[in-house]
Structure 1
Amino acid sequence: MAGYLVFVVFMTVLSKARGEDLAAPTLSVKPEIITESGSVTLHCQTPVPVSRCLYSFKKAPFKTMLCRQTINGSELLSLLNINIPAEINVACSYLNATASPLSEKKVISVRDPGPPTVSVHPSVIPEFSSVTLYCQPPLYVSVSSCSFYTLSGLEWARSSCTRTLRGSDLLKNDQSAPAEVQVKCYYTEQNEEMSPSSHSDKAIVAVKVLAPPTLTLDLSVITEMERVILHCRPPSYVSASLCNFYTVSASDEKHLEATGCVQNLTGSDLFLGNESPPIEVQIQCLYTVNQKTSPHSDKRTIMVTATKITSTTSPPSTSTLFYPETNTGTQAHVTGSETAAHDSDNLTATNSLIKTLVILLPAGGVAVGCVLLVVTFFCTKQRNAIFSVAEIQPDVQQEEKLTEARSCHFADNIFKQRC
């Protein structure tokens, strides 16, 4: 062996003297971090086919092995006569008439396995809901199994490193919710079944009873045809999708259809029987999780009133126009706004007759147009005289004005126009 090493040294010096004709190999190590019981694969990739390779470890002679060689951590520690933790430098070369240059160095870390990390999700659960436990070993450790246990004395040994349990499974016979359960874990490496790892820190699972939900309403007063949104909210640590709603009275209870934890109902849907509005309705809700029913929520009250009826009839007019009577002693009263309205009517009538005059002049001649103009002027003047007074006295002049007004009305009928 000593002669072989001398030969290798000689060939290496000779290769350098020749200008390093051979190309250096490439070395890879996987994984780069191992435990004492773990293994690492060394792969010396040569540019030419060779059967064996030479490995150089720091502070150790060359070691001839396969160019693809698997070696465990304890062998490396024994070869170098060191203890963990250790950082080991390694390089490789090959022989092809002469010794090749060394590859680039790689580092192999041999570490203590170290404790795992335990975690729980969710950390707060009802007694009949589930929690998942995770035992996470270091990434460089090859694990065969994990074990979980509680500080109260329960254990689930040699199982998967992920385990799902119910809240009640974490409680011993003498425990009941609410309770805080402390959980730890450890793992076992492959090929080290009798040497479990150190234990993790603790994680806490809070196991709670099913608390009542909170009931909220978007409206507190509705008609029997209006809608209200009911929302049954379980506690934040509860994942529930099924809720039940109830309308209650002193002597009766009505179960509303369960279609989730949000309901959109009309006022009439809330009636217990044949009631009629106005009526006060009290509502409660509860939720179900894992076939377990929660306590009822507090009661909320909704006032259901009769459907509102909106009138579309316009209010009667408060303005009244009194026309003069024919009897002696009768008074006529015309308000200022009514007089203005009549003045407007007179102006409209005059304009209309003037337009008629313009049309008739070419067709009927000047004589007819003049007659119409005189009648229009006479009627307008008399109508204005009638509505411009606030009080009409029973005398001869009043009778004459009334006669003239009747004549104007007669003219209106003849020419189909208002004076």
Structure 2
Amino acid sequence: MTGHLLFIVLIYSFHQIEALPPPKLTVTRSVITEIDSVTLTCEPPSSVPVSQCHFYTLIASKGNLKDFPCVKTLTGIELLDIVNTLAVVKVNCFYEVQTERSEYSDISTITIQSSPPPKLTVDPPVITETDSVTLRCEPPSSVSVSQCHFYTVSGGTARVFPCLKTLTGSELLQMASLTSPAEVKVRCCYTVKHQSPYSVISYITVQRPNGDKDRITDLTTSTPSKKSPAGRDEADSTAAMPHNTVSSTTSASQTTVNPASDTSRRVMVVIMTACGVAVGVVLLGIGLVWNQQREEKCASKGAKVSITDDWKSLVDYDETYSIVNYECKNE
């Protein structure tokens, strides 16, 4: 019995001695982007001559086995072709000698991030609807792309254009679903394997074609300050009127009666009215005296006085006068 146990121990020890030791796995970078590269080295013991290694990449619950040379350089895009997503990837490796497989290496971790954002420039930043603006979306120099995605914040949709694109102000407004005058916010990105982050926002001001004239009109038609001198207010108000308003005002002023002449006319009317009243009073007094004399004369003759009164109106005046006829009649 003791001999059998010793034999089993010897066999187990022999297999342990013959088992292939695990390789050593190293990665040159633990964090990369799509456009970066990483070198994986699966290093068997120096005493083991192997040229082919097996790399096992594990992401979540999904694993992929790839046969590569024991030293392999992969770009971020190539690694993404294996794992199919931006993520933290766990990698280990093993090697084989004839039909014997080594143990797995320790796990190394590689984080795959999105590519760096592009740089967006606009020239010029202020245009009119009929002017043009050039949008330049610049990915990193190591990225070779010909198409970029331009996104207007207000429009909410991305358009695919060449990374160097010229647009008119009207096209930009249509893309942003805006009308002039407006400030258009634009950013861009590019796609290699996955979409890059967006660039920093650039601002483009789009004015109407006659924007400068509109601004001048707005300034000239504003209400003048009450703090300025009266003469300055009157001049500013006249300058602020549109041409047709000034013309109509001028015409109106030509047909309006001068206040001074109107006052003179009123004074003349008052004087003439007063003179008419005075003359009427004098005539009335003369008439009374003359009437008294006629009555006395008629009375001396023993006759009665017959009086007829005929009222007349003065032309162009609100005054009337009467003509009194006296006649002596014998009884």
Name the TM-score class by shorter chain. 0.3 to 0.5
Q: TM-score normalized by structure 2?
A: 0.38
Q: TM-score normalized by structure 1?
A: 0.32
Higher relative contact order (CA closer than 8 Å, sequence separation 6+): 2
Q: Which has the higher helix share?
A: 2
